[in-house]
Structure 1
Amino acid sequence: MIVPDATQDAVAVADHYDELDPIYRRVWGDHVHHGLWATGRETPAEAVEALIDTVGDRLRLMSGEACVDIGCGYGSTARQLAATHGVSVTGFTLSAEQAHYASAHPVPGVDIHLRDWLANGLADGSANAAWAIESSEHMVDKPRFFAEAHRVLSPGGRLVVCAWLAETDAGGWKVRHLLEPICREGRLPSMGTREEYEAMATAAGFQIIGYEDVSARVARTWTICARRLVRTLLVDRETRRLALGARNRIFVLSIPRLILAYRTGAMRYGILTLSKAREAGTQREPGASMPQETP
């Protein structure tokens, strides 16, 4: 597990996304995650939607199911999957700015909470499916991230995790100059390998259904972000102010690091599909409600 030399926690993660909210929405858009290219001819918007569609396909979503978006950002992924699959979604974000944006763009069946996933308050077995797109990296306690997902899912439920992962056995300059700084600058408490993620998922009780390394198909996201950021810096005074004066301005340095990390193989992008075992005599049934426990 790659751990930054400066401790990162949920407060730091929330502050990062709140302060840099204008930059994220200008550079990344409403979906704060990578795009997935198949032919290379897709537009960035089409590639972003392709990643979401891939998650939906891996989850085998059925109309009427109750779902959880772990680290939902602005709620755009939740809104898309709710619309395309007819599911209801409860989303969780640490960022007040993201939650505010989501509340200003409400859609039926999508409920966004400003709350830490590690203290989510959902009832046992209350969800049929869950996904975490580039949010597990921000979890202070990754084993608990998986344990909470297993607890909240009903028997037969699926979890798809799209994650930034460290190259197996990465060492030397790759850790010192790429992976550790990426964790520190991006407010990641740690970055695991595929093997570490699979071990944590198995320890939580999940069965591993599949894993796909799509690094080559997502890497161009960062060259696109770099171009967008440069253009925005040239024309937008607020972006220049944040890039030069914000507490979290150091994240700008991570963009060239991320480009190099993908090109050298130091960082990987994995899609992990997991399942909670069915109990004897039970089947996965659609469920529209999401009961909550007392906080």
Structure 2
Amino acid sequence: MIVPEISQNAAAVADHYDELDPIYRLVWGDHVHHGLWTTGRETPGEAVETLVDTVGDRLGLLPGQACVDIGCGYGSTARRLAMTRRVSVTGFTLAAEQANYAAAHPVPGVDIQVRDWLDNGLADASADSAWAIESSEHMVDKPRFFAEAHRVLAPGGRFVICAWLAETGASGWKVRHLLEPICREGRLPSMGTREDYEEMARQAGFTVTGYEDVSRRVARTWPICARRLVKALLVDSEIRRLALGARNRNSFLGIPRLILAYRTGAMRYGIFTLSKG
């Protein structure tokens, strides 16, 4: 498990996303996660929706099911799956700005809450399915992240996690110059390996039914984000003012690191499918 030199907590994560909210939506879009390219000809928006649909497929979502979106961001993934799969979704985010955006774009059956997943307040066995797209990285207590998902899911429920992962056995220079700074700059309390995640899932009571490394299919997300950010800094004085004056401005240093981390194999992107019972 990679742990940053400066510890990160839920308050730091919330501050990061609240302060940089306009830049995140401009540079990364309102889904705030990677795209998944299948043919290589998809637009960035299509690739993002492909990732969402892949999650829905692996969950085997059925109309009427009660679902949980752990770390839902702006609620875009929850809205898409609610509309396309006819499910109800309760989403959790730490960021008030993200919840405000979700409230301004309501969809029937979607409830977005500003609340820490580690203290979610949901009843035992109250959900049929759950997913976490690039939010487990922000969890201070990752074993509890898995344990809460297991508690909330009904027997037979499925849990899909899309996660930024550290290369198994990453060399010292990759940890020192790529992975540790990515955690620090991205407000990640830790970054695990595939083996870390699978062990924590089993300890929580899950059965690991699937895993796929899709690093090559998501990696082009970051060059796209880098181009969007440079363009915004050049033409938009308000974005430039915010980016240069933000408390969290060192986060932007993570973009070139992420590009290099994928190219060197220091960082992986994995999709886990888990089942309860």
TM class by shorter-chain length? over 0.9
Give the superposed CA RMSD: 0.4
In 2, Cα distance between the equivalents of 1:155 and 1:236?
51
Q: How does 1:207-222 map to 2 (within 5 A)?
A: 207-222=207-222
What is the SS of the residue equivalent to 1:83?
helix
Q: How far is the alpha carbon of 1:242 from its aligned partner?
A: 1.9
Q: Superposition pairs for residues 144-293 of structure 1, below 5 Å?
A: 144-277=144-277
Letter in 2 for 1:189: P
Normalising by the residue count of structure 1, what TM-score does the alignment of the two structures yield? 0.94
TM-score of the two chains, using structure 2 as the length reference: 1.00
Could you tell me how far 1:112 is from its partner in structure 2? Answer: 0.3
Q: Secondary structure at the match of 1:64?
A: coil
Partner of 2:88: 88
1:171 CA drift (Å): 2.3
- State the distance in 2 between where 1:222 and 1:200 align: 28
* Ranges in structure 1 where 5+ consecutive residues have no aligned partner: 278-295
Q: Displacement, 1:239?
A: 1.2
Q: Name the residue aligned to 1:33.
A: 33
Paired residues for 1:111-126 under 5 Å:
111-126=111-126
The separation in 2 between residues aligned to 1:246 and 1:265, in whole angstroms, is: 30
3-state SS of 1:34 partner: coil
One-letter amino acid of the structure 1 residue matched with residue 133 of structure 2: I
- How many residue pairs end up in the alignment? 277
Deviations 1:196-238 (A, max 9, x none): 0000000000000100000000000000000000111111112
Percent identity between the two aligned chains = 82
Q: Tell me the distance in 2 between the aligned counterparts of 1:180 and 1:101.
A: 31
Counterpart CA distance in 2 for 1:141 and 1:239 is 33
Aligned pairs (5 A) from 1:37-52 = 37-52=37-52
**Partners of 2:135 and 2:29 in 1: how far apart?**
17
Match of 2:5 in 1: 5
Distance 2:45 2:68 in 1: 23
Q: Work out the CA distance in 1 between the residues paired with 2:86 and 2:21.
A: 29
Q: Does 1:55 align with 2:46?
A: no
Q: Secondary structure at the match of 2:157?
A: strand
Question: Separation in 1 of the partners of 2:177 and 2:207?
Answer: 35
- Equivalent position SS for 1:151: helix
Could you give the per-residue CA deviations for residues 165-203 of structure 1, whole angstroms, max 9, x where no partner exists?
Answer: 000011211000000000000000000000000000000
Structure 1 outlier segments of 4+, above 6 Å? none
Aligned-pair distance for 1:14? Answer: 0.1
